[in-house]
C-alpha cells in the first residue's frame, strides 16, 4: 500500500510528465501535418507543365516562407501575425511559380492574396 505522502510525490512527478507528453504529442502531430503538406505539395503536378515538382522545390519554398516570417517578426517585434502560410513553389521543370497552402493542403496558380487585392473581372 502506498502512503498518502507517496501518492502526492507520484502525483507531483506525474503532472510535468503528462504535460511533457502533451507537448510532445502536439509536436508530433505538427510534424506529421507538416510532412503531409510537404508530401502533398511535392507530389502535386505543376499547373503549367503537369509534372510533379519534387521535394527539393517544396523545401526551398518552405524555407523562403519561414525566412519571410522571420523578417516580418524582426521588422515588427511583438506583433503577432495571423496570416495563412503560403509557400511560393517554383517548378524546377518549367520555372512556373505557383502557391501552396499547407494549412489547407491546396495548390493555387495565383496567390490567394493577389485575389484579395485585385478585383477580378468576370470570366
Ligand atoms: Zn512546371
**11-44: pLDDT as tens digits:** 888 999 999 999 999 999 988 999 999 999 999 9
Confidence of residue 60 (pLDDT cuts 50, 70, 90): very high
Q: Provide the 10 A C-beta neighbour count for residue 62.
A: 21
| pLDDT value of residue 9 | 87
Whole-number Å distance, alpha carbon 116 to ligand 1 midpoint, is 25
> Residue 69 pLDDT more than 70?
yes
Rg (CA), the chain: 22
Whole-number Å distance, alpha carbon 8 to ligand 1 midpoint, is 62
Calpha distance 84→98 (Å, rounded): 15
Confidence of residue 49 (pLDDT cuts 50, 70, 90): very high
pLDDT, the chain, mean = 89
Predicted TM-score (pTM) of this structure? 0.72
Average pLDDT over residues 98-117: 86
> Residue 55 pLDDT more than 60?
yes
The secondary structure of residue 3, as a DSSP letter, is: -
Whole-number Å distance, alpha carbon 48 to ligand 1 midpoint, is 5
Nearest Cα residue to 93 out of 37, 41, 55, 54: 54
Whole-number Å distance, alpha carbon 63 to ligand 1 midpoint, is 20
Whole-number Å distance, alpha carbon 31 to ligand 1 midpoint, is 27
Q: Give the three-state DSSP class for 107.
A: strand
Whole-number Å distance, alpha carbon 98 to ligand 1 midpoint, is 9
Whole-number Å distance, alpha carbon 34 to ligand 1 midpoint, is 23
**78-98: pLDDT as tens digits:** 887 777 899 999 999 999 999
pLDDT: is 115 or 26 the higher one? 26
Whole-number Å distance, alpha carbon 9 to ligand 1 midpoint, is 61
> Residue 112 pLDDT more than 90?
no
Amino acid at each position: 500500500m502506498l502512503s498518502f505522502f507517496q501518492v502526492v510525490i507520484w502525483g507531483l512527478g506525474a503532472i510535468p510528465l503528462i504535460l511533457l507528453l502533451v507537448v510532445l504529442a502536439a509536436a508530433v502531430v505538427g510534424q506529421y501535418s507538416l510532412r503531409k503538406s510537404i508530401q502533398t505539395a511535392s507530389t502535386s503536378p505543376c499547373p503549367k507543365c503537369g509534372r510533379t515538382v519534387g521535394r527539393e522545390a517544396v523545401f526551398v519554398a518552405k524555407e523562403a516562407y519561414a525566412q519571410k516570417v522571420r523578417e516580418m517578426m524582426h521588422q515588427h517585434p511583438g506583433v503577432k501575425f495571423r496570416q495563412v502560410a503560403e509557400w511560393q513553389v517554383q517548378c524546377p521543370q518549367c520555372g512556373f511559380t505557383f502557391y501552396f497552402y499547407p494549412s489547407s493542403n491546396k495548390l493555387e496558380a495565383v496567390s490567394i492574396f493577389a485575389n484579395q487585392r485585385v478585383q477580378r473581372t468576370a470570366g
